[in-house]
Copies of this chain bind each other. A is one copy, B any other.
């Protein structure tokens, strides 16, 4: 990492000061303005999701449907402005638009517009709630950020084991589903192999809805074996995740911040860092 003689010398793709400030307010939470912005955003997201929930209840919709509709357009307008602001104040709008949060922010807007054409879709406004993943930063989230990053790392590190495990589970589900379809038959609810597979998953994961249940003795015997198998198999993902988390605990890094690199949009750079460790660009001062 080369050191620039002074932090205020402009690198090649500098943003104008007002865009710089907008960036700090919207994307970061280390300044008072940034923090208030996040509080307000959090409140607006929760309110807008609440309106969609209320609107889905028949009785409430009949009573206040018009108000709900206006509120939904109000929120959508606000969020559209915010989305445009985000696009404006980053150096590489396209990189933001294709990042995870960029996609979530867009999906949070589209349903209301699409609903003009396909009315039922407006309920997908609820996807907006995933924006809340972003505003976790408010609550002293240096710690939160490292906590769920550590969990995320644990999951990623064990993804091969999890994939193997899921594949074996699906095979068992397929074979047992087929056997139960043969044994019980359509008159007992096991009307096709996919339906029997749905029953098998219900049983193996110990959910046990009870909408389909075995009636024959052989069917009940096979079910019992499957229940014991599913019960014991629960130990496997638990063992995988537990040992991985214990491993993570030993390797855990010091808690990062919410400092964000303008070039590659990664966050979590240390307080003393002057350059982004992913792409080498100079970081704005904390």
**A binding-site residues for B, Cβ under 8 Å:** 49, 52-53, 56-58, 120-121, 123-124, 126-127, 129-130, 132-133, 136, 143-144, 147-148, 151, 160-169, 171, 174-175, 178-179, 181-182, 186, 191-195, 197-198, 201-203, 205-211, 213, 217, 220-221, 223-224, 227-228, 230-232, 234-247, 249
Contacts and interface: CB of A to CB of B under 8 A. Distances in A.
B147 A164 contact: yes
Contact of A211 (B49, B167, B210): B210
A136 B167 contact: yes
Given A57-B194, A198-B223, 16 more contacts: A49-B174, A123-B182, A124-B178, A126-B174, A126-B175, A130-B171, A130-B175, A136-B164, A136-B167, A144-B163, A151-B164, A206-B206, A207-B230, A208-B210, A210-B211, A239-B246
Contacts of A231: 205-206, 234, 237
Contacts of A240: 235, 245
Main secondary structure of the interface of A (DSSP, over half): helix
Contact of A238 (B201, B203, B235): B235
A227 B164 CA distance: 18
Nearest to A122: B182
